[in-house]
Chain A
Amino acid sequence: MLDTVLQIALAAVALAMLLSAWRLIAGPSKPDRILALDTLYINTIALLILLGLWLDSALYFEAALLIAVMGFVGTVALSKYLLRGDIME
């Protein structure tokens, strides 16, 4: 049962990643691309957690945790750049 669920979820996440990639490349605006990158980070969290469940390993968890804690910083910096140019004032 769990395996089936995981497989479906993984497929969904993979699809989500592809769609994010599409948005990243298609744009058209810079905020679109930044959001796409951010979404890819979120997708990765999901991917890693699902893989951890699938392979029954805790090792994937740290990477997911780290993305959750720090992944947004890149997005913040990129957005701040669009907003103000100077990201550290």
Chain B
Amino acid sequence: MNLLAFNLPLVVLLPFVGAAFAAWASRLNRLGAAYTSGLVTLLSLALLMPSVPLPFHDQTLIQTWDWVPDLGLYFSFRLDGLALLFALLILVIGLLVIFYARYYLSAKDCMGRFFAYLLMFMGSMLGIVLSENVIQLVIFWELTSITSFLLISYWQHRKEARQGARMALAITGAGGLALLGGMILLGEMVGSYQLTHILAAGDLIRAHDWYLPALILILLGVFTKSAQFPFHFWLPHAMAAPTPVSAYLHSATMVKAGIFILARFFPALSGTIEWTLLVGGAGLITLLIGAYTALFKHDLKGLLAYSTISHLGLITLLFGFGTQLAAVAAIFHIINHATFKASLFMVAGIVDHETGTRDMRRLGGLIHYMPHTATLAMVAAAAMAGVPLLNGFLSKEMLFDQAVIASSISHWALLLPVLVTIAGLLSVAYSVRFIMDTFFGQPKSDLLHTPHEPPRFMKIPVDILVVVCLAVGILPALTVSPILETAVAGTLQAEVPDFSLAIWHGFNAPLMMSIAALIGGVALFLKRDTLFQLYQRHEHVDAKRYFQASLQGILNLAQTVTQRFDKGSLQHASAWVIAVSLAAGIVGFAGFNGSLLGETPVQSVDTLTVIVGLLGALAALMTAIWHRKRFVSLVVIGVVGLVIAIGFVKFSAPDLALTQLSVEVVTIVLLLLALYFLPQASPKEINRVRLWRDALLAGVSGIGATLLTLSVLTRDFDSISTYFLENSVPGGGGTNVVNVILVDFRGFDTLGEIVVLALAGLGIYSLLQGMTLPAPKNDLRGRLWNPDKHPLILQTLTRLLLPLMLMVAVFVFLRGHNLPGGGFIAGLIASVALIVQYLANGIDWTRTRLQIDMHWAIGLGLLIAIATGLVMMAMGYPFLTSAFRHMHWPVVGEFELASAIAFDLGVFLVVVGATVLSLVQLGRLSHSSHAGSTWKS
């Protein structure tokens, strides 16, 4: 098979699979996780390799599978120049970060968790850049928000890590929602959610009425993710993450995702005045604010964080210009920023690692202790400052050039070259500060331990990145030119404009601006003390406080609204539900003037039905009257359940009758288990108004329901049941329509339901785990409990009954496909069979004999159910299609074997597991309080 037919999804999904392996490997060996992650990344890279030449030959590789074609949703991947550039950045820098993290993380940190998160994040990023379907792109976008949340909060014991992660998640998550909206608008405008169509429909999109809303929504996503003003404040707080995470997220990946969207949709969205104002404006403001704030940060990572914001602003500004050459510069700066910023973050991590602090006021003179690291830092910082012969210089020159060109548009635009020069000047100043305050000046003596060079291998990733900075800076045409050209071709989806990566363009305006920025920046650094004093004097906006205040405000609002309707009382809640449905019914039937009864003749009633019906009504009435005596009402409500079951039999719904009967038994056991710890009598309702209100609601809604039922049942109506009745045998191979619907026609619903059931069972189990409640020592009248824990007659008889009950369960299970029964009912019967052993013989006795862990039953059931579906998928049918074949077995005779029976087995196991697990866990609540002899009280 041709690898080029399916390698892209593998590249994306491999890290997700690898994450599980990494987590597992860390159990065997502390460093196993790191090596596994490195291997997985290399493997992804290797899988990508065969398709690398395609974009260089102007080919776009697209691999598509159907997902939900009706909704325009395809499982679809795309590799063009832009995607290739980003994929390579993500994988290569990811590899370096993994290498670095292996040395960075201390013995106390859980390696498996870290590398598993990192790999999942890597996969999500790859998914964004390689997606062809924009909805799929948003899905991976959301995954990056979630996985970056996990990474930022990796040190969960630190408050600032948790808060920073929450903030990042809230901001980027909200942006993701906006992005989804924008993508849907785009897709609806173009009529397709495939990038190929969207990118080709730029003129249509720009002329469309929805252009502006779509643009704003997409930009909201971009600006939140890429930390553009006014959403930039989450990024510095995300610095609470371990440094390898910062190096990865804030150089090549997370924040570049927003930039990637700008580049990706550049042909579709750019070139309008709205684009220029919004994108360029946000970029310019972010560029300046970031650079200005970075200068005053004392924390190395804080400085780098704001510098990242500033450089992201720079890239955004370049895209905002909207010209092709500006896009070239933007793409170029993406590469350059990724290399120098990743290396600087790693240097900051090394300094932190070796000195125990990142505060520049406490650092100094480190060049004496770690000359190698210092040299690397100097080169990388020089690249960040835009010093000639380094990569940062080239892209900064291009920015200055673009600013000069753009300044000719209007008078106001004349400010542009000035503002970008100021930004350049500030970036020189903070780069100089980063180096001078850390590596030069007097060594400080109050450090935790004497600094020294880190392990040799920890510096290798930095070495590599810095060499790239130099190589690109000195020989751009030989190194970066081909990939840049390819990436630009992918971005513009058009001919690449002529651009020159030469270092020397002669004495022109950009060079003057560069020189001004360099000299001004150094001068600014020398005057920094005065500047710091000035900065200290004025008030600073603490975005975190505003963020938390507004978050609290939203929560309070939500709580106020909720409390209006939900006072934590069942009475209140059900009164609302009933009142609203009553109102809806009254409004709905306000204009109804047909007759109450339809044409279908009313059947005659026999005496027996009347008697049984009256019995049910009487029991229901007595339940209400005796509701304060909880035990007695429980006995009486048993009659209501019984009568309903008889009703189901009478009106030809045997499946329902069987279900009702088994549920009835389980319910009594459940309620009694709970009642043991609850008051035996309900308090008397003294509020007269509420009493009358409830009586009125109950009466009117009861009458309403009766009238509704009467009018529906006396009319002929077409329901979907005809379809199921006709197709049950030919389509599902079973004559029991109810069961065929459950396991075949609506198998997917059933799968969802058993998942919910499994979750509920596990949830009850874990919520009650380790909880013990004081058990009452005597009954309602103050009599002591009977000392006979397990009456002998009961024990003996129930043990005899166990195989009989299980046999009934098996019988009901096997015949379920054709006659009343099935996995659900059989599961309930088996549960009751087991529960009764717990009742009669006690938990300990039963547990030593029934050594099945119900967790396994639940898990196995789900696995079987899903596997059935997957097997059918593998055979080319839709998920959960049922196959069946009639076989002739000796002795048994004609027997029909349907794949649905395997699915039904899954249902059976989940029902048994969840029911027994939760009931026994409830029973165990008082288990330890029986340990002593409670009888002696």
Q: Is the CB of B801 within 8 A of A69?
A: yes
With a cutoff of 8 Å between Cβ atoms, the chain A residues found around residue B924 in the complex are 88
CA gap between A76 and B798 in the complex, in Å: 10
Question: Count the B residues whose beta carbon is within 8 Å of the partner chain — how many?
Answer: 69
Write the B758-782 contact mask toward A (1 if CB under 8 angstroms, else 0).
Answer: 0000000000000000011001000
Q: Is the beta-carbon distance between A87 and B611 smaller than 8 angstroms?
A: no
Minimum CB–CB distance from A83 to chain B (whole Å) comes to 5
Query: In the complex, which residues 1-45 of chain A have their Cβ closer than 8 Å to any Cβ of chain B?
Result: 10, 14, 17-18, 21, 24-25, 30, 33-34, 36-37, 40-41, 44
Q: Kindly list chain B residues whose C-beta atoms are within 8 Å of the C-beta of A84.
A: 785-786, 789
Known: A65-B808, A70-B661, A77-B668. A88 touches B636 (CB 8 A): no
Contact of A78 among B668, B835, B926 (CB under 8 A): B668
Closest approach, in angstroms, between the C-beta of A50 and any C-beta of chain B? 10
Known: A24-B636, A66-B661, A88-B923. A73 touches B631 (CB 8 A): no
CB-based contact A76/B639 at 8 Å = no
Q: A59-B820, A62-B812, A76-B839 are in contact. Are A88 and B645 (CB under 8 A)?
A: no
Q: Does A86 contact B (CB under 8 A)?
A: yes
A83 and B786 form a contact (CB under 8 A) = yes
* Given A62-B658, A66-B661: A88 and B673 interface contact (C-beta under 8 Å): yes
Q: Which residues of B contact A85 (CB under 8 A)?
A: 676, 775-776, 779, 785
Report the Cα distance A76→B665, complex, angstroms. Answer: 10
Interface pair B638/A74, CB less than 8 Å apart: yes
Q: Which residues of B contact A60 (CB under 8 A)?
A: 649, 654
- B811-842 vs A, CB cutoff 8 Å, 1 = contact: the mask equals 01000000111000000010010011011101
Contact between A87 and B622, CB atoms less than 8 A apart: no
With A14-B611, A21-B618, A70-B805 known as contacts, the answer to whether A76 contacts B836 (CB < 8 A) is yes
Contact indicator B843/A63 (Cβ below 8 Å): no
Distance of A14 Cα from B664 Cα, bound (Å): 22
Partner of A73, one of B619, B675, B819, B839: B839
CB-CB nearest in chain A for B637: A37
Of B618, B631, B832, which one neighbours A81 at CB under 8 angstroms? B631
Interface string of B898-937 (1 = CB under 8 A from A): 0000000000000000000001101110110010000000
Query: B686 an interface residue at 8 Å Cβ cutoff?
Result: no
| A89 at the binding interface (Cβ < 8 Å) | yes
Q: Are B664 and A74 in contact (CB under 8 A)?
A: yes
Q: How far, in angstroms, from A18 to B819 measured CA to CA in the complex?
A: 32
CA–CA, A26 and B789, complex, Å:
30
Find out whether the CB atom of A88 lies under 8 angstroms from the CB atom of B920: yes
A87 in contact with B785 (CB, 8 Å): no
Main secondary structure of the interface of B (DSSP, over half): helix
Chain B residues with CB under 8 Å of A21's CB are 615, 618-619, 639
* B794 located at the interface, meaning its Cβ lies under 8 Å from any Cβ of chain A in the complex: yes
> In the complex, how many angstroms separate the beta carbon of A8 from the nearest chain B beta carbon?
13
Would A62 and B638 count as touching, CB distance under 8 A?
no
Contact flags B624-662 to A (C-beta < 8 A → 1, else 0)? 000000011011101100100110010010100110011
Say yes or no: B835 contacts A73, CB within 8 Å: yes
Complex contact B672–A78 (CB within 8 A):
yes
Cβ-based interface call for A48 (8 A)? yes
Is A89 touching B676 in the complex (CB atoms < 8 A)?
Answer: no
Point out the residue from A25, A44, A51, A83 that lies within 8 Å of B622, measured CB to CB. Answer: A25
Residue A53 at the B interface, CB < 8 A? no
B685 at the interface (CB under 8 A from A): no
Tell me whether A80 and B839 are in contact (CB under 8 A): yes
Nearest-neighbour CB distance to chain B for A47, whole angstroms, equals 7
Among B607, B638, B801, the residue within 8 A (CB) of A14 is: B607
Asked if A63 and B839 make an inter-chain contact with CB atoms under 8 angstroms apart, the answer reads no
- Quick check: B639 and A24 within 8 Å, CB to CB? yes
Q: Decide if the interface of chain A is mainly helix, strand, loop or mixed.
A: helix
Q: A34-B635, A60-B649 are known contacts. Are A66 and B919 too (CB-CB below 8 A)?
A: no
Q: 1/0 per position for A53-73, CB-CB distance to B under 8 A?
A: 000000110110111011101
Q: How far is the CA of A50 from the CA of B492 in the complex (A)?
A: 82
- B786 adjacent to A17 (CB under 8 Å): no
Contact B639 A73 (CB under 8 A): no
Q: Which residues of B contact A36 (CB under 8 A)?
A: 635
Is residue B582 contacting chain A, with contact meaning CB distance below 8 A? no
Determine if B843 and A88 form an interchain contact, defined as CB atoms under 8 angstroms apart: yes
CA distance A65 to B805 in the complex (A): 10
Tell me, rounded to whole Å, the shortest Cβ–Cβ distance linking B771 to chain A. 15
Verify if B788 is at the interface (C-beta below 8 Å from A): yes
Instruction: Give the residue of A17, A41, A87 whose beta carbon is less than 8 angstroms from that of B839.
Output: A87
Q: What's the Cα separation between A60 and B669 when bound, in Å?
A: 26
Is B829 touching A44 in the complex (CB atoms < 8 A)?
no
- Find the residue from A14, A40, A70 having the highest chain B CB count within 10 A: A70
Of B789, B821, B832, B840, the residue contacting A62 (CB under 8 A) is: B821
Residues of A within 8 A of B785 (CB): 83-86
With A17-B612, A17-B615, A33-B632 already in contact, the answer to whether A63 and B661 are too (CB < 8 A) is yes
Smallest Cβ distance from A24 to chain B, in angstroms?
7
- B558 contacts partner chain A, Cβ-Cβ < 8 Å: no
Give CA–CA (A69, B812) in the complex, Å: 13
| Minimum Cβ distance to chain A for residue B825 (Å) | 8
> Which of A14, A40, A65, A80 is most buried by chain B, counting CB atoms within 10 A of its CB?
A80
B608 an interface residue at 8 Å Cβ cutoff? yes
Judged by a CB distance under 8 angstroms, whether B696 is at the interface is: no
Q: Is the CB of B676 within 8 A of A87?
A: yes
Q: Find out whether the CB atom of A76 lies under 8 angstroms from the CB atom of B923.
A: no
Question: Are the C-beta atoms of B649 and A66 separated by less than 8 Å?
Answer: no
Q: Quick one: given A70-B665, A89-B930, are A18 and B829 in contact (CB under 8 Å)?
A: no
Q: Which of B157-208 contact A (CB under 8 A)?
A: none
Q: What is the minimal beta-carbon distance from B424 to any residue of chain A, in angstroms?
A: 75
Residues of A within 8 A of B700 (CB): none
Please tell me if B804 contacts chain A, counting CB pairs below 8 Å.
Answer: yes
Residues in A neighbouring B615, C-beta threshold 8 A: 17-18, 21
Assembly CA distance A71 to B673 (angstroms): 18
CB neighbours (8 Å) of A70 from chain B are 661-662, 665, 805, 829, 832
| B615, B835, B924: most-surrounded residue (chain A CB, <10 A) | B615
Instruction: Give the complex CA separation of A47 and B646 in angstroms.
Output: 9
With A84-B789, A89-B843 known as contacts, the answer to whether A74 contacts B665 (CB < 8 A) is: yes
- Distance, CA A74 to CA B632, complexed state (A): 13
Residues of B within 8 A of A87 (CB): 669, 672-673, 676, 839, 923
- B658/A81 in contact, CB under 8 A: no
The chain A residues found within 8 Å of chain B, CB to CB, are 10, 14, 17-18, 21, 24-25, 30, 33-34, 36-37, 40-41, 44, 47-48, 51, 59-60, 62-63, 65-67, 69-71, 73-74, 76-78, 80-89
The 23 listed contacts between A and B (C-beta, < 8 Å) are A18-B615, A25-B622, A33-B635, A33-B636, A37-B639, A60-B649, A62-B654, A62-B820, A62-B821, A63-B654, A70-B662, A70-B805, A73-B832, A74-B664, A74-B668, A77-B839, A83-B786, A86-B926, A87-B839, A88-B842, A88-B919, A89-B789, A89-B926
Q: Would you list the 8 A-B pairs with minimal beta carbon distance, nearest first?
A: A88-B923, A74-B668, A83-B786, A33-B635, A73-B665, A63-B657, A81-B672, A14-B611
Told that A73-B669, A86-B926, A88-B839 touch, could you supply 18 new A-B pairs with CB distance under 8 A?
A17-B615, A24-B622, A47-B646, A62-B812, A65-B808, A66-B661, A70-B665, A73-B835, A76-B798, A76-B839, A78-B668, A78-B672, A83-B786, A85-B779, A88-B923, A89-B843, A89-B923, A89-B926
